[in-house]
Amino acid sequence: MNSRRKFLNKSLLGIGSLPVLSALSGLPASFLISGQAQAATGEAKFCILSTSSGGQPLNIYAPGAFPKNGNDPANRIGHPVAGQNGINYTVGNTTLDVSHLANPGMRRFGADNMIAAQMFDFLPDNFANHLCHGWYVSGTNAHPELNKVLTAHGALKSQYGATENLAAVIAQENAGALGTLYAYPVGLGREFTPSSQGKTAPRLSPESLSELFGGADGSLPVDGEDFLAIYQSFVDSYYRNVYRTELSPSQRVFVDNHLLSVTEAEETGGELDLLLNCPNQYTPDLECTSSTDGLPTLQQDGFAVEEEDYWHQFNQLRTALALLYLRITPVVTVDHRYGGDNHGDANLERETLESLSTMAVLSDFHRLLTQHSRFQTIADKLVFAGVDVFGRTVELRDGRDHYGDSTAGFIWGQHLSNTVLGGPGNGKVSAYDAATGVVSANGNVGPDESLPSFLKTVMCASGMSLETVNQRLQQGIASSAIFA
C-alpha cells in the first residue's frame, strides 16, 4: 500500500492529476488510491438532471395538455393561437411557428394515448419513444424554492438521515457502481447550485472545467497527443511498480478487465482535449467552433434557432455527456427552457422561441448519443430527467404567472417507454394509477403525493433499488409503468 501511494504521488507530480489518470486509464480513482472498487451492478445509471427555478410552461404543451374530448381538464389550458407572433423556423420543407405550440400533434404518449403540442412530432422517433412525462404538484410558488421541490419538501433523506436533494442522493448511491471519481453531483446550470451532505458541490461553467482536472502544480496538458503520452507513461510505470508487485490475483483481473486500450485512451484523450481546450461552443459534430457573435440564427438539422437559446442548452448537455463519459461524476445538473418567467410575454414570443429551440437541442442531444462512438458507450447507461420549481398558469394574462398546482417533468432513458404519469386536472393535477400512469379518480397517487412519487420514479429510473428508494423517501409511490 505504501509503495502504491508513493507511486501515485509521484505520478500526480510528474504526469497528471488524479482525474486525468483515472479517465485515461479507465481505472476508478478509488482503485488507484486503495486497490478497492465496488463491483458494477448493471443497474446504476448516469444522470443528467435538468432543472429550472424560473418555472417553465412545459405543463402547457406536454403530453396530456391537449384535450381528447369535451370533458378533458386540458380544455381549460390556454394555448397560443396561430399567427399570434411572427416567430418561425424551417424544419426540412416545413415551417415551424407558433401554430406548432397552438395545435395538437399526431404523436401519442402513454397507455392512455395522451396528446402533446405538435412540436413534439419533430423529435426523433427513437428519442420520443423513450420519453416519459410526469405531472405533479410542486407545492411552491416562488423562484428560490427549487431546492424544496428537489428534496420533496424535506422528506428525501441521505443514508445518514439528513435532508438531501435528488441530484445528491442519486450521486451518492450510484458512484461506487459506476466507478466515478466523485460521489457528488457537478453543476453546469445557472439556476441550481447542487449540494451533497451539507456541502456545496461544484457549479461550473464550461470555461471553468479545468478546476476538476488541475494537477498538483496546476498545469494541464494542451492537446490530445500529450494525453496519449500520459497514458503510455502511466501504464508502463503502473505495471512495473504496482501491478507486478502490489496487486493480488483478483486485483490484477480487475485491472485487466478495466484498463483502457491504446485506442480507447486516444479517444478519451481527444474528449479531454475538447472538454478543456474548447470550453465555449461545439457544433453537433463535436467540432470546436469560434464565436458566432453577430449571427442572428444557427441552422442545424433543419432548425434555425436563436443562437443564445440554442447554445446555452446544447453546450451544457454536450459538456455533461463528456463528464459522464469520463466518469468524473454520476450526476450533472443543467438548465432547460420553454419560456421561463414570462409574466410580460403578451404575444408568447419568448415562449415560442425557447420552446422551439429546445426541440432543436433535444434533437441534437439524441444525435450526440447515437452517432458518436464515445457517447454511444454510455447511451444505455444514461437517464435524462427534468424537474421544475413550478409550472405556469393555464390562463393567459399578458403572459403566464406561477402555478405550482400543475407542473410537468420528464424522464428519458433507452430502457424507458413513453409513459405519462397523470395529467392536468381542474385545479391540481389529476390522480393516477402508479402501475399504468393512467389518470383515475381512484388512483393510488393523488395530487399531494405526485411530487414524491415523481422523484421516486426518477430514482428508480436511475437504477436505485426500490428498497433503497423507499428508505430515502417514505412518501409517494414509484411507478413501474415507465420501464419498457
- Nearest alpha carbon to residue 54 among 359, 360, 335, 396: 335
Q: Which helix (H) or strand (E) holds 232?
A: helix 224-238
> From the CB of residue 78, how many other CB atoms can be counted at a distance below 10 Å?
13
Contact 438, 111 (CB under 8 A): yes
pLDDT in tens, the chain (484 residues): 445 555 445 444 344 567 777 778 878 777 777 766 655 455 899 999 999 999 999 999 999 999 999 889 899 999 888 778 878 766 545 677 888 999 999 999 999 999 999 999 989 999 999 999 999 999 999 999 999 999 999 999 998 999 999 999 999 999 988 888 889 999 988 888 889 999 988 777 655 665 556 544 444 444 556 777 778 888 888 887 788 888 888 888 888 888 888 888 877 777 777 666 664 555 545 555 544 443 334 444 444 445 566 777 888 888 888 889 888 899 999 999 898 888 988 888 889 888 988 888 898 889 888 887 778 889 999 999 999 999 999 988 888 999 999 999 999 999 999 999 999 999 899 999 999 999 999 999 999 999 999 999 999 999 999 999 999 999 999 999 999 7
Name residue, grid cell 470546436: 288
Contact 147, 165 (CB under 8 A): yes
Report residue 180 as a C-alpha cell: 466515478
- Residue 34 has φ and ψ, to the nearest 5°, of -120, -10
Give pLDDT, residue 136.
98
Find the angle CA(339)-CA(340)-CA(342) to the nearest 5 degrees: 80
At 237, the amino acid letter reads S
- Nearest alpha carbon to residue 416 among 360, 461, 448: 461
Report the predicted TM-score, pTM, of the whole model to 2 decimal places.
Answer: 0.86
Q: What is the 3-state secondary structure (H, E, C) of 413-451?
A: CCCECCCEECCCCCCCCCCECCCCCCECCCCCECHHHHH
Q: Locate the domains of the chain by residue range.
A: 1-37+214-278, 42-205+298-482
Contact 418, 110 (CB under 8 A): yes
Q: What is the CA radius of gyration of the chain?
A: 23
Angle between helices 224-238 and 262-277 (to 10 degrees): 130
Report residue 123 as a C-alpha cell: 423529435
Q: What is the pLDDT of residues 216-244, one digit of tens each?
A: 444 444 455 677 777 888 888 888 778 88
Q: What is the pLDDT of residues 137-181, one digit of tens each?
A: 999 999 999 999 999 999 999 989 999 999 999 999 999 888 888
| Measured distance CA(33)–CA(461) in Å, rounded | 31
| Measured distance CA(95)–CA(447) in Å, rounded | 38
Contact 310, 354 (CB under 8 A): no
